[in-house]
């Protein structure tokens, strides 16, 4: 088995023994004789209809910081669970579910894609009919070019694992929020909501706007630009569009907000231009004070969403 910092940190988390925490290796990615595990964590209530917050990272292997944010949060949560009785009581009523690293081969090899050169965030059957950006929106031209969609009729192993996991752990709930952590686009940190495939508003836009209002009121100095993904660019094969459409078809009364946090890594490069010559430098904060600030910032967001999932009457008003 290959090992590297992020995977080691995840393995470390699996050693924790607590009746509120369940973790397992859900599958392995095997490639050229090497093997890379994918781990999942479920924390809190075992009632799969309980409100749920999903945390996902490392779909794009290069974007290590996404996995680091999820692991930092889980590690802090696990430590807090060892002494915080109030937190334990609230987790008896709702849940956190997580796959911190979906594309371990990509992270080990400093690659955005999986071993088949497929961009996992372009690989689902979801389709856009809006104007697309050349290559970036997803394409089937050549696997040698970035943002290659692959065959969406048969999703890649990593993406199928994520889709199955979300179906099993999130679709059973009537109140759900998830965040998929990415980095690399723009100067600002963007909190994206559906759709990526169309500019048409999604079914839960009112709930999303209510949640944004709560975020603005509770954390007036937050740094996020909250907007639909399609505001930046449309995407062919976006996995969250695909999962969201399936969720609303199966849960006519349910509310699900699948969010994507796109950390604006260009600001790290702007402040430290030489880092573009370092591995992963375009996608990750390399200076330690910037890394610390990135962790602090987004842990605040996760804690806010965790409270919001447990108090859904504040943003689902019906
Ligand atoms: Zn990404």
CA separation, residue 36 to residues 90, 127, 258 (Å)? 34, 30, 26
Q: Give distance in angstroms: CA of 144 to centre of ligand 1.
A: 18
Tell me, in angstroms, the distance from the centre of ligand 1 to residue 317's CA.
32
180 CA to centre of ligand 1 in angstroms? 9
99, 44, 49: which is closest to 77 by C-alpha?
44
**C-alpha of residue 150 to centroid of ligand 1, in Å:** 16
Question: How far, in Å, is the centroid of ligand 1 from the Cα of 124?
Answer: 15
Domain boundaries, the chain: 5-314
How far, in Å, CA of 242 to CA of 49, rounded? 21
Q: How far is the CA of 41 from the centre of ligand 1 (A)?
A: 21
CA–centroid distance, residue 89 to ligand 1 (Å): 35
Per-residue tens of pLDDT for the chain, all 318 residues: 678 999 999 999 999 999 999 999 999 999 999 999 999 999 999 999 999 999 999 999 999 999 999 999 999 999 999 999 999 999 999 999 999 999 999 999 999 999 999 999 999 999 988 888 888 889 988 898 889 999 988 999 999 999 999 999 999 999 999 999 999 877 789 999 999 999 999 999 999 999 999 999 999 999 999 999 999 889 999 999 999 999 999 999 999 999 999 998 776 667 776 676 676 777 788 778 888 888 888 999 999 999 999 999 999 987
E strand or H helix at 167: helix 157-169
In the CATH scheme, what is the code of domain 5-314? 3.40.630.10
Distance 152 CA to ligand 1 centre (A): 18
Span from the CA of 169 to the centroid of ligand 1 (angstroms): 23
CA of 283 to the centre of ligand 1 (A): 9
Which among 39, 182, 35 is positioned nearest to 97, based on CA atoms?
39
Nearest to 114 by CA among 157, 165, 160, 153: 157
Identify which of 211, 210, 215, 193 has the alpha carbon closest to the alpha carbon of residue 202: 193
CA 19 to chain centre: 25
**Reported pTM:** 0.95
For residue 184, how far is its CA from the centre of ligand 1 (angstroms)?
7
Region of residue 34 (phi > 0: left; psi between -120 and 50: alpha; otherwise: beta): beta
Decide if 63 contacts 11 (C-beta within 8 A): no
- The alpha carbon of 255 and the centre of ligand 1 are apart by a number of angstroms equal to 25
> Are the C-beta atoms of residues 234 and 132 closer than 8 Å to each other?
yes
CA distance 198 to 265: 25
């Amino acid at each position: 088995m290959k090992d590297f910092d992020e995977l080691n940190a995840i393995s470390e988390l699996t050693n924790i023994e607590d009746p509120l925490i369940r973790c397992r290796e859900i599958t392995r990615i095997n490639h050229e004789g090497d093997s890379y595990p994918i781990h999942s964590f479920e924390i809190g209530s075992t009632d799969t209809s309980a409100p749920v917050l999903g945390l996902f990272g490392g779909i794009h292997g290069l974007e290590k910081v996404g996995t680091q944010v999820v692991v930092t949060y889980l590690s802090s949560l696990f430590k807090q669970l060892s002494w915080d009785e109030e937190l334990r009581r609230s987790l008896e009523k709702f849940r956190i579910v997580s796959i911190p690293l979906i594309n371990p081969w990509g992270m080990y090899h400093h690659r955005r894609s999986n071993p088949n050169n497929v961009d996992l965030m372009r690989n689902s059957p979801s389709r856009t009919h809006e104007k697309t950006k050349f290559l970036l929106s997803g394409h089937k031209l050549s696997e040698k070019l970035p943002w290659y969609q692959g065959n969406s009729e048969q999703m890649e192993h990593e993406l199928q694992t994520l889709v199955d996991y979300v179906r099993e752990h999130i679709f059973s709930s009537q109140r759900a929020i998830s965040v998929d952590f990415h980095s690399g686009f723009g100067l600002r940190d963007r909190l994206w909501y559906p759709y990526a495939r169309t500019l048409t508003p999604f079914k839960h836009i009112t709930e999303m706007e209510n949640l944004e209002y709560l975020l603005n009121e509770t954390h007036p100095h937050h740094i996020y630009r909250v907007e639909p993904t399609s505001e930046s660019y449309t995407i062919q094969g976006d996995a969250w569009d695909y999962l969201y459409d399936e969720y609303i078809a199966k849960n006519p009364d349910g509310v699900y907000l699948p969010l994507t946090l796109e950390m604006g890594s260009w600001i790290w490069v702007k402040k430290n231009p030489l880092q573009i010559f370092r591995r992963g430098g375009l996608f990750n904060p390399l200076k330690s004070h910037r890394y610390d600030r990135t962790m602090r910032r987004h842990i605040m967001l996760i804690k806010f969403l965790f409270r919001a999932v447990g108090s859904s009457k504040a943003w689902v008003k019906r």
